[in-house]
Amino acid sequence: MARWVIDFFVGDGTFDKLAPRMRDHIVATTPTHYLDMQSGFDPPLSAHADLHLPMLVLRGERTHPALARSAAMQRRAERIAGHGLRREPFADRHAC
């Protein structure tokens, strides 16, 4: 499962190129992450608007579509809450 997650988001063969220590960590933590994602916890978008924490959400032109959708959802939550949204040119050039 860990190989699939990494290769899905970063590209085929990426997992095999990681250092053994990093692969071991990912293998050890992926099952917990997978269970978190399958828990059924799916609050409405308005619930995210109640978060009053500073955060930086980066999305670039090569961001994986699943992660780009997540960033877009966060942007919508910020608009619901009336928070300002600042676009950083650096993120367009360097985020993936």
- Per-residue pLDDT of 19-55, as tens digits, reads 999 999 999 988 887 777 677 777 776 776 666 777 7
Give pTM, 2 decimals: 0.48
What long-range pairs does 35-44 form, CB within 8 A, spacing at least 24?
A: none
Find out whether 49 and 81 touch, Cβ atoms under 8 Å.
Answer: yes
Share of residues in the chain with pLDDT > 70 (%): 71
Q: Which residues are within 8 A (CB) of 75 and not within 5 positions of it... i.e. 6 or more apart?
A: 57, 85
**Which has more pLDDT, 89 or 63?**
63
